[in-house]
């Protein structure tokens, strides 16, 4: 997964403040958090000398476009369908204390993660602890994944 | 709700939606189970004799004829059959005086024998979920072989006495030759052993438990492991095929370790059985003959001349038999080359719901209904819990039990 430093290296690094942020590093963090867009950096778009960097930046940012509102990315081709994340997710456990909490698959549709057709599927992302501005950086689902099929941006 | 027969966890919370010969939606089914059921619709077997399609009655009559004319037939497989089918199978072996063996002689048999005879203490998987605080996976990778093992029982669920579960109260230890997917989950307690080094590792643990410093291995980490094991309130060891292949005739050493651990605290052992009803077959055989596998009934039903030993196991029996009935197993692709070649040279009868290398090479193929989906029955989970299931869809195919009964009647 791409980091803020990697994005920063592809920016003009002039701290021109045209994007509204004090430094290029702050803009890189903004890009990673999907609060800013690449188009909001005028020098990168307008000046010819940054053309190669811009192309590279689009390539680096491409995988992030598939991420959901909470930054969750699921790679179904890597998933074993083991359900570790389903059982570990604190929201799932609170929603179905008699099923998810004791290792069974969920019955209702209030849960975030569920296993369907052999792979994990995410719903109700508004309930996720990582949703919204006051997010908590919970990593119960990524830490319990044996195949790195779940990632956060 | 249906029961998945893809592995020996026999998950009972599966919801399937079937639509015109395919699974359109499967809830809670892991990838392995999904493949297990889905392959039925793409790799279905048909009744065949010598590669030509025939009717089911013809195939059963031919199978009976082969078994009747054989001098020393071998009946192999059984781990993917229900208890009912296995009972009929043992009776068939008695009637025709055959060798009977299941996949455990190449897998967990050495350990299963000790567990079923009560030499090694065991418990149920529900006890593991409710009380266990240390799970040791030795020579096994449940994330791949039993995907829902960790999430249903051994590490992540909240149990009666383990409400804080993996976050605070449970420890997971992995002993393996490579950093498997499971080892990544508990990387702090991953202990790497060289191939064939399990016995030495085991001796080192025994030394640490006696309060001495081990002679071989990473001393600091071994002492750390010793401390984890000593502090455990209720521990469970899950030995897999990796450990059993490596230990072989040194299994007494493992028995010694479990006994030593039980002097300090409570430790139980549950073997990581692969096929869904291997334990069932072992238990049935133990009740009827006193041995868990590799038995020959030569001498007929009345003679009761049962013999047991490596000569009666599939590895050697395949070379001395002149016909074999393979049920719910694929020995031609799973067993060592010598055994597979010996089997391929004798007339084979394969009873299987799905196509495999064995059904391709078999002289007679008899399609059966898939347990859990098209046929009901009873099976024993890896911990010995009896689980009954009902078919969820109707099928014109016969179950293993019905096929075996018809073969028996025809002989």
pLDDT digits (tens, 9 = 90+) for B215-224: 888 899 999 9
Mark whether A40 and A91 lie in a shared domain: no
Sign of CA dihedral B107, B113, B116, B121: negative
Alpha carbon of A102: minimum distance to chain B alpha carbons (Å): 5
Looking at the complex, does the CB of residue A81 fall below 8 Å from at least one CB of chain B? yes
- Work out the mean pLDDT of chain B and round it to a whole number: 90
Same CATH topology for B45-106+276-410 and B109-269? no
Mark whether A51 and A112 lie in a shared domain: no
B24-73 tens-digit pLDDT: 889 999 999 999 998 888 889 999 999 899 999 999 999 999 999 998 89
Distance between CA B108 and CA B303 in Å, rounded? 30
Give ∠ CA B95-B353-B385 in degrees, rounded to 5.
70
Q: Give me the phi and psi of B18, to 5 degrees please.
A: -100, 135
For the CA atoms of chain A, what is the radius of gyration?
19
A74-108 tens-digit pLDDT: 999 999 999 999 999 999 999 999 999 998 989 88
- Residue A152, pLDDT score: 84
B308 membership: H or E segment, kind and range: strand B307-308
Segment A1-8 mean pLDDT: 83
Looking at the complex, does the CB of residue A116 fall below 8 Å from at least one CB of chain B? yes
Looking at the complex, does the CB of residue A124 fall below 8 Å from at least one CB of chain B? no
Domain count, chain A: 2
A49-62 tens-digit pLDDT: 888 888 888 888 88
H-state helical runs in B172-299: 181-185, 198-209, 219-231, 241-247, 251-264, 278-289
Buried b (16+ CB within 10 A) or exposed e, B252-265: eebeebbeebeeee
Query: Residues B20, B41: contact at Cβ < 8 Å?
Result: no
Distance between CA B354 and CA B42 in Å, rounded? 9
- What is the extent of the structural domain holding A16? 4-66
Residue A38, pLDDT > 90, answer: no
Residue A18, pLDDT > 80, answer: yes
Does A79 sit within 8 Å of B151, measured CB to CB? no
Alpha carbon of A88: minimum distance to chain B alpha carbons (Å): 6
Segment B133-160 mean pLDDT: 93
Neighbours of A3 (CB within 10 A): 11
Mark whether A77 and A56 lie in a shared domain: no
Q: How much of chain B exceeds pLDDT 70, in percent?
A: 98
Nearest chain B residue (CA) to A109 = B27
Looking at the complex, does the CB of residue B64 fall below 8 Å from at least one CB of chain A? no
CA distances to B62, B211, B281 from B397, rounded to whole Å, are 18, 61, 23
Looking at the complex, does the CB of residue A121 fall below 8 Å from at least one CB of chain B? no
Residue B128, pLDDT > 80, answer: yes
CATH of the domain at A77: 3.30.70.20
Distance between CA B105 and CA A62 in Å, rounded? 52
Best CA proximity match to A25, nearest among A41, A5, A43, A39 = A5
Best CA proximity match to B278, nearest among B115, B85, B89, B102 = B102
- Alpha carbon dihedral B56, B61, B62, B66, in 10-degree steps, equals 140
B63-105 tens-digit pLDDT: 999 999 998 899 999 999 999 999 999 999 988 888 899 998 8
Half-sphere exposure of B7 (CA within 13 A, CB side): 20
Residue B302, pLDDT > 70, answer: no
Please report where in the chains the tokens 């996976």 appear, as a residue.
B137
Does A82 sit within 8 Å of B148, measured CB to CB? yes
Mark whether A54 and A95 lie in a shared domain: no
Buried b (16+ CB within 10 A) or exposed e, B107-145: bbbbbbbbbbeeebebbbbbbbbbbbbbbbbbbbbbbbb
- Helices B251-264 and B109-116 cross at an angle (nearest 10°) of 50
Among B13, B14, B147, the residue with its CB nearest the CB of A80 is: B147
* CATH no. of B109-269: 3.40.228.10
Banded pLDDT at B135 (limits 50, 70, 90): very high
Does A82 sit within 8 Å of B150, measured CB to CB? yes
Domain residue spans in chain B? 45-106+276-410, 109-269
Does B151 sit within 8 Å of A114, measured CB to CB? no
Does A118 sit within 8 Å of B35, measured CB to CB? yes
CATH class of the domain at B45-106+276-410: alpha beta
Nearest chain B residue (CA) to A81 = B30
Mark whether A81 and A26 lie in a shared domain: no
CATH of the domain at A51: 1.10.15.40
Residue B203, pLDDT > 50, answer: yes
| Chain A interface mutation, best of B2, B17, B31, highest count of A Cβ atoms under 10 Å | B31
Provide, as residue numbers in chain B, all residues whose Cβ is less than 8 Å from the Cβ of A86.
151
Mark whether A97 and A147 lie in a shared domain: yes
| Chain A interface mutation, best of B6, B143, B147, highest count of A Cβ atoms under 10 Å | B147
Does B184 sit within 8 Å of A84, measured CB to CB? no
Looking at the complex, does the CB of residue B124 fall below 8 Å from at least one CB of chain A? no
Best CA proximity match to A146, nearest among B77, B273, B144, B10 = B144
How many helices (H) does chain B have, and how many strands (E)?
20, 18
Does B185 sit within 8 Å of A118, measured CB to CB? no
A68 membership: H or E segment, kind and range: none
Provide, as residue numbers in chain A, all residues whose Cβ is less than 8 Å from the Cβ of B166.
88, 144
Buried b (16+ CB within 10 A) or exposed e, B61-98: bbbbebbeebebbbbbbbbbbbbbbbbbbbebbbebbb
Does B152 sit within 8 Å of A103, measured CB to CB? yes
Mark whether A11 and A49 lie in a shared domain: yes
Query: Residues B352, B79: contact at Cβ < 8 Å?
Result: no
- Interfacial B residues in 339-398 facing A (CB < 8 Å): none
ipTM, two decimals: 0.86
Mark whether A83 and A32 lie in a shared domain: no
Q: Where is the domain boundary, A24, A41, A66? A: A66
Mark whether A11 and A46 lie in a shared domain: yes
Distance between CA B31 and CA B34 in Å, rounded? 5
Distance between CA A28 and CA A104 in Å, rounded? 42
Distance between CA B386 and CA B380 in Å, rounded? 5
Which tokens in the block code for residue A7?
């994005």
Residue B357, pLDDT > 90, answer: yes
Mark whether A97 and A139 lie in a shared domain: yes
Banded pLDDT at B300 (limits 50, 70, 90): low
Mark whether A81 and A147 lie in a shared domain: yes
- Residue A31, pLDDT score: 85
Segment B192-203 mean pLDDT: 92
Mark whether A148 and A77 lie in a shared domain: yes
Does B26 sit within 8 Å of A116, measured CB to CB? yes
């Amino acid at each position: 997964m791409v980091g803020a430093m990697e994005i920063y290296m592809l920016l003009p690094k002039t701290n021109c403040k045209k994007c509204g942020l004090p430094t290029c590093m702050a803009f890189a963090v903004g890009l990673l958090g999907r609060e800013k867009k690449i188009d909001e950096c005028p020098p990168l778009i307008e000046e010819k000398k940054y053309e190669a960097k811009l192309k590279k930046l689009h390539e680096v940012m491409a995988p992030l476009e598939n991420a959901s509102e909470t930054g969750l990315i699921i790679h179904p081709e890597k998933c074993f369908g083991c359900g570790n994340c389903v059982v570990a997710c604190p929201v799932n456990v609170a929603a179905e204390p008699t099923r998810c909490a004791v290792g069974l698959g969920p019955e209702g549709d209030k849960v975030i993660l569920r296993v369907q057709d052999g792979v994990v599927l995410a719903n109700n992302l508004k309930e996720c602890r990582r949703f919204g501005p006051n997010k908590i950086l919970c990593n119960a689902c990524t830490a319990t994944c044996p195949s790195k099929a779940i990632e956060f941006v | 709700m249906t029961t998945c027969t893809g592995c020996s966890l026999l998950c009972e919370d599966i919801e399937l939606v079937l639509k015109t010969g395919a699974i359109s939606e499967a809830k809670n089914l892991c990838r392995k189970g999904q493949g297990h059921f889905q392959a039925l619709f793409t790799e279905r077997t048909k009744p065949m004799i010598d590669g030509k399609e025939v009717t089911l009655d013809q195939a059963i009559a031919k199978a009976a004829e082969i078994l009747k004319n054989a001098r020393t037939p071998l009946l192999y497989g059984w781990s993917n059959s229900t208890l009912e089918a296995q009972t009929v199978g043992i009776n068939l072996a008695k009637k025709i005086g055959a060798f009977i063996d299941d996949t455990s002689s190449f897998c967990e048999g050495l350990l299963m024998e000790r567990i079923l005879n009560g030499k090694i203490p065991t418990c149920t998987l529900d006890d593991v979920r409710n009380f266990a605080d240390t799970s040791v996976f030795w020579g096994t990778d449940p994330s791949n072989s039993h995907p829902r093992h960790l999430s249903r029982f051994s590490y992540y669920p909240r149990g009666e006495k383990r409400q804080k579960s993996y976050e605070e109260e449970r420890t997971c230890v992995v002993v393996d030759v490579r950093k498997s997917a499971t080892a990544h989950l508990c990387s702090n307690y991953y202990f790497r052993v060289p191939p064939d080094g399990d016995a030495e590792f085991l001796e080192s643990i025994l030394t640490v438990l006696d309060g001495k410093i081990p002679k071989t291995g990473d001393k600091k980490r071994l002492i750390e492991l010793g401390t984890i094991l000593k502090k455990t309130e209720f521990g469970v060891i899950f030995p897999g095929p990796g450990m059993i292949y490596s230990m072989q005739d040194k299994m007494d050493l493992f028995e010694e370790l479990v006994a030593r651990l039980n002097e300090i605290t409570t430790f139980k052992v549950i073997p990581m059985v692969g096929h869904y009803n291997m334990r069932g077959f072992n238990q049935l055989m133990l009740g009827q003959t006193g041995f868990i596998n590799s038995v020959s009934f030569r001498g007929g039903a009345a003679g009761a001349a049962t013999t047991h030993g490596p000569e009666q196991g599939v590895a050697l029996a395949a070379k001395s038999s002149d016909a074999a009935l393979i049920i719910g197993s694929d020995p031609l692709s799973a067993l060592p080359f010598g055994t597979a070649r010996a089997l391929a040279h004798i007339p084979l009868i394969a009873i299987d719901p799905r196509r495999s290398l064995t059904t391709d090479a078999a002289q007679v193929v008899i399609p059966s209904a898939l347990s859990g989906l098209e046929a009901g029955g009873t099976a024993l989970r890896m911990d010995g819990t009896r689980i009954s299931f009902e078919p969820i869809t109707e099928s014109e195919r016969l179950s293993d039990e019905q096929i075996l009964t018809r073969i028996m009647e025809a002989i």
